[in-house]
Amino acid sequence: MSLLGEFALWIAFLIGIWGAAAGFTGGRTGRADLQRSSRNAVFALAITLLIAMFAVEWLLFARDFNVEYVAAETSRNLPTFYTWSALYAGQKGSLLFWATVLSIFGSLAMLLTAPRHRIYLPYVAGVVCVVAVFFLTVMLGAANPFARLPFTPPDGNGMNPQLQNPGMVFHPPMLYLGYISITIPFAFAVAALMSKRLDVDWLVAIRKWTILSWLFLSIGICLGMWWAYVELGWGGYWAWDPVENASFLPWLVMTAFLHSVMIQEKRGMLKKWNLGLILAAWVLSIFGTFITRSGVIQSVHSFTQSPVGSYFSVFLFVSIVLLTILYVTRLPLLKTEAYLESLVSREASFLFNNLMLVGIAVTVLTLTIFPILSELFTGNKIQMKPPAFNVVNVPLGLALLALTGIGPLIAWRRASIPNLKRQFAVPVAAGVAGALIILVLGMRQVWPIITIALACFVMGTVVQEFARGVRARHRQYGEMYPLAFFRLIARNRRRYGGYVVHTGMVMLFVAFTGMAFKIETEASLKPGESVSLRSPYGWTYTFKHLGVSQYDALNRQVTAGTVVVSRDGKTIGTMVPEKRQHVDSFGRPTFQPSTAVAIRSDLREDLYVVLGGVVGGTETAVYRFTINPLVWWVWYGGIVVAFGGVIVMWPGGTVGSNRVASGYTAKLAAENAVGAGE
Amino acid sequence: MSEPRGVSRRSFLAMSAGAVLLQTPSRPPVVPPSGADSLADGGAAGQLADPDRAGRPLEPVTARDNDAAIQAIEKRLQCTCGCGLDVYTCRTTDFSCTYSPGYHRQVLALAASGMTGDEIVAEFVKEHGESILMAPPRRGFALVGYYGPWTLVGLAAVGLVLLLRAWARRAAAVAVVESPASPAPTPAELELVRRELQHFES
């Protein structure tokens, strides 16, 4: 099976080279046979890579420990559930996963692209093949998932305990899907640049793809936060780790693009900027993979480090140079069709929104690579850790939150003073009311107060937009309010789906403030002893330690502490945090003992208990007890963001934007005809 | 004529609810007596069968370990085990870490000798360099990290405002040039446009 897999990789490599050559030559010369061949090459690439992926899965399930990757990532007693995810738990498998999914996305682009946009497809096939060939080169050169050991160990090393979590089964593929799907809009952007067809057409062709990758990235990031929270045991969900940042960077840039592209579609402006954003998002997605894989920056994701970093750095450098040349040579073709008419307009607010999003991206990037920068300029490595990230990013994030509310309130082209007064009255009142209420309730911290006020302001905007839309439909069509509400969203999914996303973002921002009120304590308790903590809501939680039990599970030896929790004297449940020693099938320890956190959640706060260990081999256990307010709202916010993204992406419904886009295309066609006539 | 029924639906539901209500309070929380051994056949009371499974043996937690001032100091110091966490979070999260407990003991010892928080942190910096800090001090090259992004965003914002003003002026100039050729809209046309825009916006 490993021979079949390796053979498939080599065939895919050759197909990729041919597909790239045929695609670019076919696109340039217009030869139909080459164009067809490049399209077929992408399909063939997908089939061969699927065979290779199937081969890896077969070897993993067969526990063929003579294969280095299988021995490194699995053991005989690894649960079946995680055997599947072992495919992307390690370096080599995840590279194969990347290349395979890319070829599948490429095939879907070949099949689903509307006939009027097929002119770009040869170049798209070429770009997809080039990127796939790069990943195949890395696999065949430095990270072959089919490489064999000179001996066959009796059992494998087993999967890293931190990866044996349901979150890790879904989080990495989601992020990978996000990273990988960016390659398709990127390929269309390169196609537009190479073919010099830089009107609005390529933007229409990539609309669904950009939202899809943004959606995958959003879900992947949220799942990553959830995994970090439930698995790592430090009591938080975001630590500005380089690998977290690497996923956040393309998300920020894609979010900026999703806003600014509306200006190009409606007004024919920002062509250079939008192209730049798509190219940057792709470069950042590769940079993200480079950060994850190279180990150039210290990260909790160190389990993925290997020597492939040099491959990525060369590819990144060559890509940036070639893309810059291509972009600069096409600048004369990227002239704006219109000029902004007023500083107080929707266009201007979107530009400021872009400024903040890209500003935060630059900030995060700078602080992430700060050890490298500081070493380069001063010879000393200066690490920027979460406190420094928060100091810099919190004001920028709040400015962005404010713009989330301001943007929809300002009219396109030019806003008048009476219009502004009418639009801003309710949201501003909501913001002020929100701030006053929490001041009266006793909150005195500045940043949380500002966050709550801005959150109320943005929600005021969203509610006002929905209310006006529903009222207008009710008046115009006589629809009942609930029906008008659903039809309002259905008829303009992009706009109202966007507001749903804004609502999710507000929920996330409010949830983040909860961390400012985190309460924690450490205690060693004998059986029967208890410790009390007072929550920010005024309740007193008492944690009573009952005892410690030990038992064997499938691939681990478990030491579990049992804690009875009561709130204001009333028992509310039992929590069982664990200490796990993972073992192979011979009972030999495979990793350092790890912790499995016990979490009890409700809408207001989470109780988070970690079992640190025991004192002197007795049942006296050392615990860390934490009360984390509002954490569930992070997950709900993520779900709402994803739901809004699905609404935006759902086919049909965007009558208005289609009309605008087609109107703009017609205008371009008319102008071209006049130009040709002259 | 309907057949007689033994129990009506309503009385069945009432009886079920009554049974549930009667059951609920009769189940107090299961709490073993204090100090009881929870391990069946586990040897002497309170002793674990295999302590090694629970990781490194730990010391009992004292009041000083939870001292807010000590925690605050430890949250300013980075553990050097590679986790990227501060000393407090590392020692209360990764209980297999061999670095953070040592740093914790050092912080306790320095605090016991009468040093203030800043002095303790300075002592750590003297020993390990500034890389031990979670947030580097705002001086030297670190200023680039703290203020560079804000400066960049600020300058970009100023540049954007200037650019937008230039665009707005150019758009106005284009409108002036075009205006003689285009007849002024009538009030009826303006009303039509307003209605269309309103319709589009809704």
DSSP string covering A383-409: ---HHHHHHHHHHHHHHHHHHHHHGGG
For A292, the token pair is 């994850």
> Which residues of chain A, if any, have pLDDT below 50?
302-303, 654-678
Q: Are A32 and A51 in contact (CB under 8 A)?
A: no
A531 forms bridges with which residues in the sheet? Answer: A543
Say yes or no: B98 contacts chain A, CB-CB below 8 A: no
d(CA A397, CA A360): 8
pLDDT of residue B6: 47
ipTM score of the complex?
A: 0.78
3-state secondary structure of A601: strand
**Is B48 in Cβ contact with A548 (below 8 Å)?**
yes
d(CA A554, CA A132): 38
Partner A, chain B 150-189, Cβ-Cβ below 8 Å: 150, 152-153, 156-157, 160-161, 164-165, 167-168, 170-172, 174
Q: Are A394 and A445 in contact (CB under 8 A)?
A: no
Q: Which residue has the higher pLDDT, B42 or A61?
A: A61
Q: Are A510 and A452 in contact (CB under 8 A)?
A: yes
Residues 6+ apart with CB under 8 A from A478: none
Mean pLDDT (whole number) for B31-41: 42
Residue B175: band (very low, low, confident or very high) from pLDDT cuts 50, 70, 90: low
d(CA A221, CA A238): 10
List, for residues A434-477, the tens digit of each pLDDT value.
Answer: 999 999 988 888 999 999 999 999 999 999 999 999 999 999 88
**Is A343 in Cβ contact with B164 (below 8 Å)?**
yes
**Is A386 in Cβ contact with B134 (below 8 Å)?**
yes
3-state secondary structure of A565: strand
Choose among A396, A408, A394: nearest CA to A515. Answer: A394
3-state secondary structure of B166: helix
pLDDT of residue A17: 96
Choose among A150, A128, A352: nearest CA to A259. Answer: A352
How many Cβ pairs within 8 Å bridge chains A and B? 236
The helix/strand count (H/E) of chain A reads as 20, 10
d(CA A590, CA A611): 20
User: Which residues of chain A make contact with B93, given a CB cutoff of 8 A?
Assistant: 232-235, 595, 610, 624
Do strands A570-575 and A556-567 pair parallel, antiparallel, or not at all (unpaired)?
antiparallel
d(CA A607, CA A626): 6
- Measure CB to CB from residue B60 to each of A234, A620, A656 and give the nearest one: A620
Q: Are A503 and A459 in contact (CB under 8 A)?
A: yes
Report, in this order, helix, strand and coil percent for chain B, each rounded to 5.
60, 5, 40
DSSP string covering A605-616: EEEEEEEEEEBT
Task: For chain B, give every residue range classified as CATH 1.10.8.
Answer: 60-132
CATH of B60-132, one of 1.25.40, 1.10.3470, 3.30.70, 1.10.8: 1.10.8
Say yes or no: B35 contacts chain A, CB-CB below 8 A: yes
Amino acid letter, residue A622: V
Residue B28 clears pLDDT 50, i.e. is over it: no
Task: Write the burial class of residue A506 (CB in 10 Å: 0-12 exposed, 13-18 middle, 19+ buried).
Answer: buried
Residue A610 C-alpha from the chain's centroid: 28
Do strands A598-601 and A605-614 pair parallel, antiparallel, or not at all (unpaired)?
antiparallel
Residues 6+ apart with CB under 8 A from B128: B80
Distances in Å between the Cα of A402 and the Cα atoms of A355, A409, A452, A453, A517 are: 13, 11, 11, 10, 23
**In terms of CA atoms, which chain A residue is nearest residue B199?**
A472
Q: Are A311 and A138 in contact (CB under 8 A)?
A: yes
**In terms of CA atoms, which chain B residue is nearest residue A362?**
B149
3-state secondary structure of B179: coil
**Is B35 in Cβ contact with A528 (below 8 Å)?**
yes
Amino acid letter, residue A33: D
pLDDT of residue B194: 77
pLDDT of residue B165: 87
d(CA A604, CA A555): 35
List, for residues A207-239, the tens digit of each pLDDT value.
Answer: 889 999 999 999 999 998 998 898 888 888 998
Query: Count of CB atoms within 10 A of residue A182's CB?
Result: 29
Q: Are A159 and A78 in contact (CB under 8 A)?
A: yes
3-state secondary structure of A600: strand
d(CA A669, CA B186): 29
**Is B39 in Cβ contact with A549 (below 8 Å)?**
yes
Say yes or no: A342 contacts chain B, CB-CB below 8 A: yes
d(CA B137, CA B150): 17
pLDDT of residue A677: 37
**Is B168 in Cβ contact with A342 (below 8 Å)?**
yes
- Measure CB to CB from residue A546 to each of B38, B46, B145 and give the nearest one: B38
Q: Are A340 and A269 in contact (CB under 8 A)?
A: yes
Q: Which residue's structure tokens are 């040093």?
A: B115
For A148, the token pair is 């064999």
d(CA A197, CA A174): 32
Residue B24 clears pLDDT 80, i.e. is over it: no
- Measure CB to CB from residue B78 to each of A383, A558, A619 and give the nearest one: A383
DSSP state of A280: H
List, for residues B70-112, the tens digit of each pLDDT value.
Answer: 999 999 999 988 778 899 988 888 777 888 989 999 999 999 9
pLDDT of residue A90: 85
- Measure CB to CB from residue B135 to each of A233, A385, A620 and give the nearest one: A385
- Strand A519-525's sheet: what is its strand order? A519-525, A621-629, A605-614, A598-601
3-state secondary structure of A92: helix
Amino acid letter, residue B133: L
Average pLDDT, chain B: 76
Model confidence, pTM: 0.85
**Is B37 in Cβ contact with A547 (below 8 Å)?**
yes
> Which of A347, A383, A471, A575 should we substitute to test contact with B (largest number of B Cβ atoms within 10 Å)?
A383
Choose among A22, A10, A39: nearest CA to A109. Answer: A39
Q: What H or E segment, with its residue span, contains residue B10?
A: helix B9-23
